[in-house]
């Protein structure tokens, strides 16, 4: 049986940039995550990730009320839908399904801005599949009211 990643197994770059740790529940499982210093990626405000489905992290500058839906997006995209074409948009749909209706407009604007910055951040990347995924999510968000 594969051992679940824990906070103790985080790489040094995560541990040394830690602001806080917490956990989020999704699908009946608890996922530990690390809140990281915003200075780690100054050109991508609100960064987050779940590389290889291990060591979930999010920037300290993501507003607290926006963290849970975005972390769920990462969990869905990089575990449940890993390698599936259209995974980013599908994860975005699931993220929006758990988002509070009271913050919907503010949240959609925040995510539109984030995906625009993410596209710019990855424009020189050779990972064409990822670039297609994030572009599709940006376009999906642009179509929402």
Q: How confident is the model at residue 6 (pLDDT cuts 50, 70, 90)?
A: low
Helix/strand/coil for 10: coil
144: left (phi over 0), alpha (psi -120 to 50) or beta: beta
92-130 pLDDT per residue, tens: 999 999 999 999 999 999 999 999 999 999 999 999 999
Distance CA 56, CA 49 (A): 6
Diameter over CA atoms, the chain: 44
DSSP 8-state code for residue 82: T
Instruction: Give the three-state DSSP class for 130.
Output: helix
Residue 30, pLDDT > 90, answer: yes
pTM of the model: 0.91
Q: Round the average pLDDT of the chain to a whole number and report it.
A: 94
Residues 36-61 have pLDDT tens digits of 999 999 999 999 999 888 999 999 99
């Amino acid at each position: 049986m594969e051992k679940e990643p824990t906070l103790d197994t985080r790489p040094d770059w995560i541990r040394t940039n830690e602001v806080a740790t917490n956990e989020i529940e999704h699908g009946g499982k608890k996922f530990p995550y690390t809140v990281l210093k915003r200075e780690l990626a100054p050109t991508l405000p609100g960064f987050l990730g779940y590389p290889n489905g291990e060591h979930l992290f999010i920037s300290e500058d993501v507003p607290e009320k926006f963290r849970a839906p975005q972390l769920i997006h990462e969990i869905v995209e990089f575990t449940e839908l890993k390698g599936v074409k259209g995974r980013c948009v599908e994860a975005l749909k699931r993220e929006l399904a758990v988002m509070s209706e009271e913050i919907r407009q503010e949240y959609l604007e925040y995510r539109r801005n984030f995906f625009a910055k993410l596209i710019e951040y990855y424009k020189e990347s050779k990972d064409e599949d990822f670039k297609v995924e994030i572009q599709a999510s940006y376009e999906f968000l642009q179509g929402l009211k």
